[in-house]
Structure 1
Amino acid sequence: MAQASLWLLRHAQPLIAAGVCYGQLDVPADPSATLQAGMRFAAAMPGGAMVRHSPLQRCEQLALSLQAPEAFLSMDARLQEMDFGRWEGQSWNDIGRAAVDAWSQDLYAHAPGGGESLAAMLARVRSALVESWQHDSRLGTRDVVWVTHAGVIRCVQWLLRYGHAQPSAPDWQLPAPGFGQWQQLPWKAHAAALQALA
């Protein structure tokens, strides 16, 4: 029998120009790409999984395409991408090198664009992760799916590897699945790390 896991599913390609900062900007994903991603993941997703999704429409679209029973589908604001404040909707070129450098020099505590710091984002993702471990998964005995964003997936990876440690810019080299792709993390393999986070 396969181990129960946390499945981290990234939304499909968003309908926004390349090079634009879109963190919590609520842009839709490409409908065709969303449908294809949903079909691919639904074929791999175990039955009876609890599905949590970011409230941003690019994630909600994909979560709804999975056709999970409504009782197992839940929106969770903690699964949103980072809030980039006044940077949202601007091109990275217009934001400018100086502003990005200021953020990278204090990656953990600086709030880019006056939005949300990585410290705040890690705290909310940790809260969601502990809840999913303790309650949604019933301490690792049930599959849980998060339909979410690259930034959230990187936060989960950091928390499971490094716990409460504070990352700096050189540390933040964590991979994330491509659009419409996913990562499977068996609960049992990460039980000690999850208990330390609780």
Structure 2
Amino acid sequence: MSTLWLQRHAPVVAEPGLCYGATDLEADAGATLDAARRIAPLLPAGTLLCSSPLRRCVALADAIAALRPELPVRRDARLAEMDFGAWEGRAWASIPREDFDAWTADFADLRVGTHGESVRAFMARIAAAHDEWLAQRRDTLWVTHSGVLRAVTLLQRGIRCPAAAGDWPGGEMPFGGWLTFGHPPAA
């Protein structure tokens, strides 16, 4: 059995309530080190360590690799957060309600923020990385983002693209926290 570990980056250095999906923000250095210290001793020998190319994830992956030098970091653009287009860098509260309504009405296919990514394109990108992990059958850690953790949760349920906004997984995805999925799934 192989395990996919998905760890979310530490809190970003930015104003609360900011839309920052593809925006390349730094994470809090102390929280990054704490998150690395929590997960590093738990990873099995030979774990493949992959990171989103965004700084907030690379910093955490590098901190883990500093604690576990036998686990070199591989950057993978497929693990980046969803691109919210013109919404990037704006306060969520400043985005007009009708823009949200348009997105939720065509949740899978609308390019968010006019020129951003659609949920379908985002899911396809994450599914390609997930399918590769399934084929490799190797313990792997992805240092990534909340949206990616949610996308993999859907993929593990056999959902390649949610039909509606209400199908998107909710709940808290704590900064520095992680989820694990086994392959083959536990009976």
TM-score, normalised on structure 1? Answer: 0.87
Deviation at 1:187, TM superposition (A): 1.5
Q: Is the 8 A contact 2:123 2:161 kept in 1?
A: no
In 1: Cα distance, 2:17 partner to 2:71 partner: 38
The correspondence of residues 64-79 of structure 1 with structure 2, limited to 5 A, is 64-67=62-65, 68-69=68-69, 72-79=72-79
CA RMSD of aligned residues (A): 1.8
1:145 and 2:141 correspond? yes
Following the alignment from structure 1 to structure 2, what is the Cα–Cα distance between the partners of residues 30 and 190? 35
- 2:159 matches 1:169: no
AA aligned to 2:76 is D
Q: Percent same amino acid among aligned pairs? A: 42
Distance 1:61 1:165 in 2: 30
Instruction: Tell me, in whole angstroms, the C-alpha distance in 2 between the residues paired with 1:165 and 1:36.
Output: 34
| Paired residues for 1:9-158 under 5 Å | 9-67=7-65, 68-69=68-69, 72-113=72-113, 114-135=115-136, 140=137, 142-158=138-154
Q: Quote how far apart the aligned CAs of 1:43 are.
A: 2.1
**Whole-Å Cα distance in 2 between the matches of residues 39 and 23 of structure 1?**
25
Q: 1:35 to 1:100 in 2, by over 3 A?
A: same
Aligned length: 184
Give 3-state SS (helix, strand or coil) of 1:66's partner: helix
**Alignment CA distance shift 1:165-1:148 (3 Å):** closer
Distance 2:38 2:47 in 1: 16
More helix by share: 1
Please say if residues 14 and 29 of structure 1, whose CA atoms lie closer than 8 Å, have aligned partners that are also in contact: yes
- Name the CA distance, whole Å, in 2 between partners of 1:147 and 1:71: 13
Moved more, 142-151 or 69-78: 69-78
Distance apart, 1:90 and its partner CA: 0.6
3-state secondary structure, aligned to 1:145: strand
The answer to whether the Cα contact below 8 Å between 2:49 and 2:71 also exists between their aligned partners in 1 is no
Distance 1:70 1:167 in 2: 41
Task: List gaps (5 residues or longer) in structure 2.
Answer: none
- 1:176 is displaced (CA, Å) by 5.4
The residue type paired with residue 97 of structure 2 is: R
Gaps of 5+ in 1: 192-198
Quote how far apart the aligned CAs of 1:162 are: 3.0
CA drift of 1:120 comes to 0.1
Equivalent position of 1:195 in the other structure:
none
**Cα pair 1:154 1:175 within 8 Å, conserved:** no
Q: 2:127·2:160 contact (CA, 8 Å) conserved in 1?
A: no
